[in-house]
């Protein structure tokens, strides 16, 4: 590191920048490589060194083959300003790896163009004349950056220092000294309410096209990945013109992606993001997305999971271009493995799993790594024919045991498993690994964009190494951050344990972040996709998205689509003493807040009788100024009905517990109380209202990140599911069907559960009415 520091100081970096650079291994490695490529290990001018630093930190990865040429121009001072370097980046990003047109490159970068001080001054004068009125109005609050950008647009190769000096001088000449008013801080506008800000933010989220970052299929000739080896030249992954032309012809020039779940469990909300990326990109570009089952492990796959995945993909609103299985390609994969052995890129190994692990940790070659090719071919054939015991042999790729990348340590390509395959039957007793199969099948299916989460980034080297070794077409690989949400777990291992050990009630328990669980909870596919779109497709790893953010989008959706109804969870009896017991008044209640008066379908009938029920929490024996519920001598309004005034409180024998309330109603609605309560009434004398069961679901775990805890099961929230077996509902709910969604007024959003029977309806709480997202994100 001392040598690196000296090297960085020699090229003119200040000591602080040099020390900060050394703290970043990736930038250090890049800068050392750039200095060596530029042949300035003995030092250079500071201005040149600063440009070299820019190259080391910002040079486009897909154009690395052209980096030496750019460095040649920088060292020779043909390119000498940051603006020229940025122009070079833009030009080289879209330049073929085979051909660099020097004349076009020099023209794009302003090589040889000299901009005189007079030229710059004339441009500045013209700009000030054009913007004079606006500058005089805004005075020193004028955005100098905008002025600078205007000049740079006209004179892109002008010296930025001269431009800045001239702009400052012209401003002073036009405006003079700053006045007291110029020095006053601008008055800040009053902040809008959090909810409104969030609504505006959501609109912006929906307008942004998240797929603009991905290149077109015809651009997949560029180098965007380098694979470094300990014993051979750097592999610059890219397609030849012939290979790309063949691919484009076979794929029809369309974008082809794949969503490749392993059918060993139920999909969770993280898969919703993967679907949004894979299916969404294909749809946006007019292409297609394969639903490909990654079924390389016959012991883990179940038809239950395969059926679930296909059904849930459809529910999420996506339509596969084709449904395929990795096992569809078992023969092609085997044939290519034989070819890999023939070319010296694979070998049959007899180490045990523990021995392989130990040798990889020590960067030691397997004793069988250099066995004759003919021997490996025979042994691999024996493996296929079931002549070698399970665990006694594997086929390993001959990669680079001295690499800095652990995923280049001779990964396993095939292993023996005497287990029939759910899809392929009993034809095979050897099965390919994920690391071997997925990149080859991507190539065979002509996938244009192979997109996955960031934990697979280190596997990119192996991906391209294998396709290069087999001379196959290479898709464009890009990784994005996985979706992590607070107060839950999403690893399949942990989810499987929660289900199999009965901590939850199956894969579709509404407390889980499985898509089946969210669906059963009443969350819509539209809300999930809007939530995922708002998060975006980024590479910022390790971020935790608050559960409240998802709930915000759920509320936004259900507020538009869920009809209103009234349910009382903890009924407290209220006897209306000035209404005849036999009298029942049918009232109109709104299904929607803005229901038009002339639309009968926007209303439902609710009976009002002399016995109604309100929530226990909506009554207090002692009133207070900040309480809007019912209390002795106090009046409240029953929603869609009449004002009632408490006239008497009936207590139990303990003289504490309220048994019932007596009240009088105001049929003329002369009183205008502040408090408004939801309620349910008897439909006829002595007949209880409709009884329903309500399940209140909350966060499954108490901690925001339970997956990091050693005893994560101890963090389960004991109040995550509360069952209310006997709530009262308005009569109109008796016709409810499974999956019907409602807003129970003042309580939250609810959905009819599949456990409902003709005798008893069951409702799951989807989300409360309260919105904490804005508060949490402040």
Query: What amino acid positions are annotated as catalytic residues?
Result: 262, 482, 492
Distance CA 159, CA 210 (A): 36
Whole-angstrom distance, CA of residue 568 vs CA of residue 587? 18
Q: Could you give the CA distance from residue 530 to residue 317 in angstroms, rounded to a whole number?
A: 12
Whether residue 751 contacts residue 741, with contact meaning beta carbons closer than 8 Å, is answered with: yes
Query: Which is it for strands 635-638 and 676-677: parallel, antiparallel or unpaired?
Result: parallel
- Contacts with 358 (C-beta within 8 Å, 6 or more apart), sequence order: none
Q: Which residues contact 255 (CB under 8 A, 6 or more apart)?
A: 216, 217, 281, 282, 285, 286, 287, 288, 448, 449
Distances, alpha carbon 403 to alpha carbons 6, 231, 347, 395, 410, in Å: 27, 9, 18, 20, 10
Terminal alpha carbon distance of the chain? 41
How far apart are the C-alpha atoms of 523 and 99, rounded to whole Å?
A: 53
SS3 state at 199 = helix
Residue 6 backbone dihedrals phi, psi, to 5 degrees: -60, -40
DSSP-H helix ranges across 522-641: 525-535, 547-561
Overall residue count recorded for the chain in this entry: 778
In the chain, the largest separation of any two C-alpha atoms, in whole Å, equals: 103
**Is 567 within 8 Å of 574 (Cβ atoms)?**
no
Give SS3 for 146: helix
Distances in Å between the Cα of 222 and the Cα atoms of 89, 308, 461, 708 are 13, 39, 16, 40
CA quadruple 341, 436, 399, 429: dihedral positive or negative? Answer: negative
Helix crossing, 67-75 with 46-58: angle to 10°?
A: 170
Helix (H, G, I), strand (E, B) or coil at 394: strand
Query: 697, 739, 754, 749: which is closest to 721 by C-alpha?
Result: 697
Helix (H), strand (E), coil (C) string for 285-323 = CCCEEEEEECCCCCCCCCHHHHHHHHHHHHHCCCCCCEE
By CB neighbour count within 10 A (0-12 exposed, 13-18 middle, 19+ buried), where does 357 fall?
exposed
Q: Return the HEC string of 448-488.
A: CEEEEEHHHHHHHHHHHHHHHHCCCCCCEEEEECCCCECCC
Q: Taking Cα atoms as reference points, which of 48, 92, 47, 98 lies closest to residue 74? A: 48
């Amino acid at each position: 590191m001392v040598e690196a520091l000296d090297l960085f100081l020699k090229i003119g970096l200040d000591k602080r920048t040099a020390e900060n650079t050394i703290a970043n291994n990736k930038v250090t490695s890049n800068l050392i490589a750039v200095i060596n490529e530029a042949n300035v290990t003995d030092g250079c001018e500071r201005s040149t060194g600063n440009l070299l630093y820019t190259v080391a930190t910002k040079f486009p990865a897909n154009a690395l083959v052209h980096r030496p040429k750019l460095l040649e121009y920088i060292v020779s001072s043909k390119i000498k300003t940051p603006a020229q370097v940025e122009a070079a980046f833009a030009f080289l990003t879209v330049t073929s790896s085979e051909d660099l047109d020097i004349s076009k490159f020099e023209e794009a970068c302003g090589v040889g163009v000299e901009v005189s001080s007079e030229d710059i001054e004339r441009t500045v004068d013209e700009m000030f004349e054009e913007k004079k009125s606006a500058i005089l109005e805004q005075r020193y609050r004028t955005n100098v950056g905008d002025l600078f950008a205007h000049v740079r647009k006209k004179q892109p190769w002008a010296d930025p220092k001269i431009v800045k000096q001239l702009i400052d001088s012209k401003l002073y000449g036009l405006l003079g000294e700053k006045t007291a008013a110029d020095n006053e801080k601008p008055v800040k506008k009053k902040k809008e309410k959090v909810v409104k800000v969030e609504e505006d933010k959501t609109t912006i989220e929906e307008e942004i096209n998240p797929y603009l970052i991905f290149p077109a299929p015809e651009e997949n000739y560029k180098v965007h990945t380098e694979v470094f080896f300990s014993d051979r030249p750097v592999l610059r992954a890219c397609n030849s013109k012939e290979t790309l032309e063949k691919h484009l012809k076979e794929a029809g020039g369309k974008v082809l992606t794949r969503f490749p779940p392993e059918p060993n469990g139920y999909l969770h909300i993280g898969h919703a993001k993967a679907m949004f990326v894979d299916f969404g990109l294909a749809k946006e570009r007019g292409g297609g997305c394969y639903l490909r089952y990654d079924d390389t492990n016959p012991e883990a796959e179940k038809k239950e999971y395969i059926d679930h995945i296909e059904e849930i993909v459809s529910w999420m609103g996506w339509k596969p271009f084709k449904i395929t299985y990795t096992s569809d390609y078992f023969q092609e994969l085997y044939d290519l493995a034989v070819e890999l052995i023939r070319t010296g890129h694979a070998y049959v190994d007899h180490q045990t799993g523990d021995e392989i692990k130990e040798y990889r940790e020590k960067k030691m070659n397997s004793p069988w790594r250099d066995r004759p090719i003919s021997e490996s071919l025979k042994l691999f054939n024996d493996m296929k024919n079931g002549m070698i015991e399970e665990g006694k042999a594997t086929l390993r790729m001959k990669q680079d045991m001295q690499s800095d990348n652990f995923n280049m340590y001779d990964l396993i390509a095939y292993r023996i498993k005497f287990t029939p395959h759910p899809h392929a039957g009993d034809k095979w007793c050897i099965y390919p690994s994920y690391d071997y199969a997925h990149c080859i099948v991507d190539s065979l299916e002509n996938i244009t964009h192979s997109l996955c989460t960031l934990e697979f980034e280190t596997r990119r080297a192996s991906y391209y190494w294998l396709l290069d070794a087999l001379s196959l077409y290479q898709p464009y690989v890009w990784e994005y951050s996985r979706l992590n949400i607070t107060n839950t777990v999403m690893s399949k291992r942990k989810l499987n344990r929660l289900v199999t050990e009965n901590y939850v009630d199956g894969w579709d328990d509404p407390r889980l972040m499985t898509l089946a669980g969210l669906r059963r909870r009443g969350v819509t596919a539209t809300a999930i996709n809007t939530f995922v779109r708002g998060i975006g497709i980024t590479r910022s790893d390790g971020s935790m998205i608050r559960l409240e953010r998802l709930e915000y989008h759920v509320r936004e959706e259900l507020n538009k689509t869920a009809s209103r109804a009234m349910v009382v969870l903890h009924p407290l009896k209220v006897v209306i003493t000035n209404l005849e017991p036999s009298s029942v008044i049918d009232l109109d209640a709104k299904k929607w807040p803005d229901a038009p008066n002339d639309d009968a379908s926007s209303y439902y009938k609710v009976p009002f009788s002399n016995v109604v029920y309100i929530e226990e929490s909506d009554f207090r024996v002692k009133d207070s100024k900040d309480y809007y519920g019912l209390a002795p001598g106090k009046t409240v309004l029953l929603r869609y009905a009449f004002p009632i005034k408490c006239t008497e409180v009936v207590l139990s024998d303990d003289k504490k517990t309220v048994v019932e309330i007596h009240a009088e109603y105001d049929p003329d609605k002369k009183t205008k109380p502040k408090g408004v309560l939801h309620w349910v009434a008897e439909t006829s004398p002595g007949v209880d209202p409709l009884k329903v069961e309500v399940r209140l679901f909350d966060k499954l775990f108490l901690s925001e990140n339970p997956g990091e805890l050693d005893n994560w099961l101890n963090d389960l929230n004991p109040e995550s599911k509360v069952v209310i077996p006997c709530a009262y509902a308005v009569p109109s709910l008796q016709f409810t069907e499974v999956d019907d969604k409602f807003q129970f007024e003042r309580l939250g959003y609810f959905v009819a559960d599949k456990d409902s029977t003709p005798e008893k309806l069951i409702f799951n709480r989807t989300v409360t009415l309260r919105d904490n997202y804005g508060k949490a994100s402040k």
